[in-house]
Structure 1
């Protein structure tokens, strides 16, 4: 479910303007922001790939490069697949069937139209309907849509979905330096979202600062994974030289 209401981050940037002729209007974004996560992205789906919220190709490409030597992989799963951009990573690495899962019917419709050869499944990622079917699972830009209390169910479902020895891989944003503007943008965005969800229903869950590596590592380890993390140096660096993103690698024994 690669669905981000928030700015796409320092790598993705705003090269594709949200307010382009093909992207959503300011009014459409406001309607989405006041909807639930599922309904909001059902509304946004036809124009999602024309916004900067789609995971940037540089992130997809560097992730694929980092995973290339960790296989072989047969069947692949894109968790929270959105419109299916992550499929290009799986098709590069996997020799078998590609499956995408998301809870937005309209996002899945866009994914299916772009890649009819893959299997697209509508389901809640907190209750994945798979058991030992995949060798590689990936996810892009989705963790901010899960509250910390919801992550264990997500990770336990991915663990069940993987065959023994399977790998769950996903990039996360590395904490920006205090001196970087992105630090203050993410802080401000999360505060605004907390206020919005306090005074407006239904809630729209999207937070940047609840998915830091120590907490993610702890939840993955509790689910049974062996966890490492590498810098995605090809996806850009902050001015102090630290990477924009880390690649989390969770292996099922």
Structure 2
């Protein structure tokens, strides 16, 4: 499915009926051949927006998966780059793609770091956390950063009601909620649970100073607003 190198429909069904961790262990070898991987255009636009804000020393990719974000961090950071994920399968793929990066297997809701990084990023992971779990995630990133450190991630504008994508994403989220209501273990993967306003409020509650910048390279919506923004959450200096 998706390409000749991607997972089959049967493989996706098995993954969808697994836990998040085991599902990604199963999907990991073929993940980069699915639409679930963050597109290179978003990665490149993020790197371009972060470059003038450096230089950075140590970098952290939160929920690194197969390592797409590590590829963003490596040219931006002068020190060690670390990826954290709770899927051993995804970390194995990240090791192959980025052998010089440090990898840690842990739950992002309980990050095992304190004052260790100057830049943290995450790509495509927020939908794997329920809104009630975001405070723990963001507080952990805040602790992991040094004073003045930056947490950055792209976030898309909401789709208009007239867009086919609006209804496709709504349908996916409804199907996932039904799946989780009738099947255990749950598989948390939602596309419409992290709007910018709610994310901004949770970041501020964790202690961050939050701004956004448009990712102009990714285009505009019909009303002239950007299709994507880069969220920049700064840990206050000591």
Pair in the same fold by TM > 0.5? yes
* TM class, shorter-length: over 0.9
Task: Say whether the 8 Å CA contact 2:66–2:90 is kept in structure 1.
Answer: yes
Q: Does 1:233 align with 2:216?
A: yes
2:123 is paired with a residue whose SS is: coil
Distance 1:69 1:19 in 2: 36
Q: 2:82 aligns with which of 76, 99, 104?
A: 99
Task: Say whether the 8 Å CA contact 2:65–2:94 is kept in structure 1.
Answer: yes
My pick for the range that moved more, 160-169 or 179-188, is 179-188
Give 1:11's aligned residue.
none
Give 2:125's aligned residue.
142
Give 1:20's aligned residue.
3
1:239 offset after TM fit, Å?
A: 4.2
Give 2:34's aligned residue.
51
1:172 offset after TM fit, Å?
A: 1.3
1:149 is paired with a residue whose SS is: helix
- TM-score scaled to structure 2, two decimals? 0.96
Aligned residue pair count: 236
Q: 1:236 to 1:26 in 2, by over 3 A?
A: farther
Gaps in structure 2 of 5+ consecutive residues: none
Q: Does 1:164 align with 2:147?
A: yes
Could you say which structure has the higher helix fraction? Answer: 2
- TM-score scaled to structure 1, two decimals? 0.91
Q: Which whole-Å deviations, capped at 9, do the CAs of 1:38-82 have from their partners, x for residues lacking one?
A: 000000001111112111110000000011111220000000000
Gaps in structure 1 of 5+ consecutive residues: 1-17
Q: Does 1:37 align with 2:20?
A: yes
Q: 2:196 aligns with which of 213, 220, 236?
A: 213
RMSD: 1.1
Distance 1:132 1:88 in 2: 22
Task: Say whether the 8 Å CA contact 2:71–2:98 is kept in structure 1.
Answer: no
